[in-house]
Chains A and B, each alone.
Chain A
Amino acid sequence: NAGVTQTPKFQVLKTGQSMTLQCAQDMNHEYMSWYRQDPGMGLRLIHYSVGAGITDQGEVPNGYNVSRSTTEDFPLRLLSAAPSQTSVYFCASSPLGGVGYTFGSGTRLTVV
């Protein structure tokens, strides 16, 4: 049982480049979300999904897109990377009902 798998673990982008951060879970969880972690800011919610075909915005959605075509996958797309998007990104999943999240190990992204 792999849990929540994030790829890549590290990435360096140039300003203006686009990329997709991958997130996959094998627990059949309905709920999935993306957070970014910045020093002194805690975790801030970017986007979330309560099931395949359903997504919604969190606190800091600008510059990011998501889609949920399957229960297992929830990729996060950076459309045109900016230095302000330098951060550690975490994907999380849970069953519906507010029982708590399982987190991936994170992707450390640097935009230069």
Chain B
Amino acid sequence: AQSVAQPEDQVNVAEGNPLTVKCTYSVSGNPYLFWYVQYPNRGLQFLLKYITGDNLVKGSYGFEAEFNKSQTSFHLKKPSALVSDSALYFCAVRVGRDDKIIFGKGTRLHILP
């Protein structure tokens, strides 16, 4: 079955430290992968995507993600966390040929001042 998993419900990081939010996937064929962020009482905002090309993808707000085909992972990273990065982060993958996207359950990121 095609799926996407975020193994951590919550990640706590001190401000200024690097952060990683983990995501693994299982799809047939070449994956289209996405990260979205949700701030309290808001809709989801697009951060970045991987479709093809360089395995390191850069996105909004200084975030980047590394595609690893052998480990079927697409971890979100940032070199230096900000308190304002505290939010709910969703990994997503396109499944099938009709642009349907499924989401992980989300990881709540807490950046501690």
Contacts and interface: CB of A to CB of B under 8 A. Distances in A.
Do A and B share a complex? yes
Contacts of B104: 42
- Give the interface centre of A43, A45, A99, A101 by most chain B CB atoms within 10 Å: A43
B49 A33 contact: no
Given A50-B98, A56-B98, A100-B34, A42 B103 contact: yes
Interface residues of B, number: 22
Q: Is the interface of A mostly helix, strand, loop or mixed?
A: strand
Contacts, number: 59
Contacts of B42: 105-106
Interface of B: 9, 32, 34, 36, 42-46, 49, 51, 90, 94, 98-106
Given A42-B104, A104-B43, 7 more contacts: A40-B105, A41-B105, A42-B90, A90-B43, A98-B32, A103-B45, A106-B42
